[in-house]
Amino acid sequence: MDKPLILVTNDDGITAPGIRTLIRLMKEIGEVVVVAPDSPQSGMGHAITIDNTLYSKKVADGEYSCSGTPADCVKLGLQELLGRKPDICVSGINHGSNASINVIYSGTMSAAIEAGIEGIPAIGFSLCDYGWEADFGPSEPFVKQIVEEALAHGIPPGVVLNVNIPKTDNGAIPKGIRVCRQARANWREKFDKRQSPQGKDYYWLTGTFELLDQGTDTDEHALSEGYISVVPTQFDLTAHHAMHQLNSWNLK
Amino acid sequence: MDKPLILVTNDDGITAPGIRTLIRLMKEIGEVVVVAPDSPQSGMGHAITIDNTLYSKKVADGEYSCSGTPADCVKLGLQELLGRKPDICVSGINHGSNASINVIYSGTMSAAIEAGIEGIPAIGFSLCDYGWEADFGPSEPFVKQIVEEALAHGIPPGVVLNVNIPKTDNGAIPKGIRVCRQARANWREKFDKRQSPQGKDYYWLTGTFELLDQGTDTDEHALSEGYISVVPTQFDLTAHHAMHQLNSWNLK
């Protein structure tokens, strides 16, 4: 059987330790093509570049950098750079959590979702450690296992996987993997207001994460107990449960 | 009863005809505060500004421009500019469709979703006409009606409304309003490859919309028949229907 073709991308940029780990692992499974941003794109959500030009550069054998967003990288990879449809797209390993509400802001997941929209099985991986020196070692066998299972079973159409890996101390191994739902949460914003040397006011966006969900079947709960969370994630945003209520409104 | 406080934003920028129409209509209903991007932010998805500074400027009574994304505008408005929690947030009226898969890329909807995450009833409005000269007139009574119904009934928690308005000819009135689900669709990308005067290759992202859904209960179907579509949209992305299948994988 031919080796599977694996498209690898991320949002921290092509030189980030997380994507270098993912590339190395994926080369043990299949043929790898990398299309990733040439600079960090965290917090880009599902942005695409429509009013500006895109540049792409071959930076190594099978590796392309792109001036655009993570979603741009996937679009450009599929249409221009890969030559054939990949068997799977993996994004990450992100430096920082994309669990619960973070999925909405995540460039890592936007790349995976873009591939999902194009009908390609896709997985986003994130380690709950923002540090550039984060230790990806303990998660490596799990990352490989999840990709191999996805290749073996397929991922249901319209679904992409959001995988988050707990930060562990002293190289400890995560306790295992749990299939979860997205926890209800938000960010309590705090704007840090400052003044420029020229006397102009400006803000930095900061905030603290606020978990609003006590369920034991959530990604946040699994991570807090030392497990890897796998949330099946969809891009059909229809809230079917709300249809009935809306139909009772006076809309004609 | 006090007049409701209405936060108005968009992604086309604070000077766009669509938001000026929305501001005028909302002033007939309540007290209005505008926080909108100082330049166009279409296609920004749910991007937020985390590695850069944000500027905000009072440009008129009750109107602030912001250097950030639509989601930034909502965060900054709620935390720094409004003083009290708004009764509703409305985003738009966008110049162009945000129906079906476009919701994923939409700055207009990201602003509404951001407000929804913060527990504020929120609606995104879009007219299926990209032109700056688009005629918002025929949709005006419907926009007011939908906001008044939302204020009267409340919107279910975790749900925001994605309202799309068909383009009509010669000022014709839309036929009515339909509550719909998001149609399955994607964009068939085509990259227009060019060479700069300096001999460097670059790309423009272009594409054609591809409807993959023959259902008669979708937003695209309603729009094609001349109706306004209202899709209840959620930011819990969990694909609950896929849980069972994933639990059969060899994940431990």
What pLDDT, in 10s, does the model give residues A163-208? 999 999 888 999 999 999 999 999 988 889 999 888 888 898 888 9
For chain A, the distance separating the N- and C-terminal CA atoms, rounded to the nearest angstrom, is: 57
Chain A CB contacts of B153 under 8 Å are 245, 248-249
Q: What does the pLDDT read at residue B1?
A: 59
Mean pLDDT over residues A92-119, rounded?
Answer: 95
CA B74 to chain centre: 12
Q: What does the pLDDT read at residue B34?
A: 97
Spell out the residues 6+ positions from residue B101 whose beta carbon is closer than 8 angstroms to its own: A117, A235, B182, B183, B184, B185, B186, B187
A12 labeled binding residue: yes
Query: Nearest residue of B to residue A227 by CA position?
Result: B252
Chain B CB contacts of A204 under 8 Å are 53-54
Q: How far apart are CA A240 and CA A243, in angstroms?
A: 5
Higher-confidence position of B162 and B204 = B162
- The nearest CA of chain B is from the CA of A4 a distance in Å of 19
Mean pLDDT over residues B171-191, rounded?
Answer: 94
Chain A CB contacts of B252 under 8 Å are 176-177
Does the distance separating the beta carbons of A238 and B233 come in below 8 Å?
A: yes
Q: What does the pLDDT read at residue B184?
A: 96
Residue A142 has pLDDT above 80, yes or no: yes
Best interface-test mutation with B: which of A80, A104, A218 has the largest number of B CBs within 10 A? A104
A135 labeled binding residue: no
| pLDDT bracket for residue B51 (50, 70, 90) | confident
B65-to-A25, A203, B17, B40 alpha-carbon distances in Å: 46, 13, 15, 11
Nearest alpha-carbon partner for A8 in A108, A79, A148, A154: A108
Question: Helix or strand or coil: residue A185?
Answer: strand
Q: What does the pLDDT read at residue A86?
A: 97
B87 labeled binding residue: no
| pLDDT bracket for residue B53 (50, 70, 90) | confident
Facing residue for B46 by CB, picked from A105, A193, A201? A105
Chain A CB contacts of B164 under 8 Å are none
Does the distance separating the beta carbons of A72 and B104 come in below 8 Å?
A: no
* Bridge partners, A54 (sequence order): B203
Best interface-test mutation with B: which of A66, A94, A246, A250 has the largest number of B CBs within 10 A? A246
Query: Nearest residue of A to residue B186 by CA position?
Result: A117
Average pLDDT score, chain B: 94
- The nearest CA of chain A is from the CA of B13 a distance in Å of 14
The secondary structure of residue A175, as a DSSP letter, is -
Does the distance separating the beta carbons of A231 and B181 come in below 8 Å?
A: no
Residue A94 has pLDDT above 90, yes or no: yes
Asked if A218 and A181 count as a contact pair (C-beta separation under 8 A), the reply is yes
| pLDDT bracket for residue B237 (50, 70, 90) | very high
Q: What does the pLDDT read at residue A52?
A: 83
Nearest alpha-carbon partner for B108 in B183, B18, B224, B236: B18
Q: How far apart are CA A77 and CA A64, in angstroms?
A: 9
Please count the other Cβ atoms lying within 10 Å of the Cβ belonging to residue A20: 16
Sorted by where each starts, the structural domains of chain A and their CATH numbers stand as: 5-187+214-247 (3.40.1210.10)
pLDDT tens-digit readout, A30-88: 999 999 999 888 777 778 888 788 999 999 999 999 999 999 999 999 999 998 999 99
Q: What does the pLDDT read at residue A1?
A: 59
Mean pLDDT over residues A212-229, rounded?
Answer: 97
Average pLDDT score, chain A: 94
Amino acid at B27: K
Across the A:B interface, residue pairs with CB atoms under 8 Å apart total 232
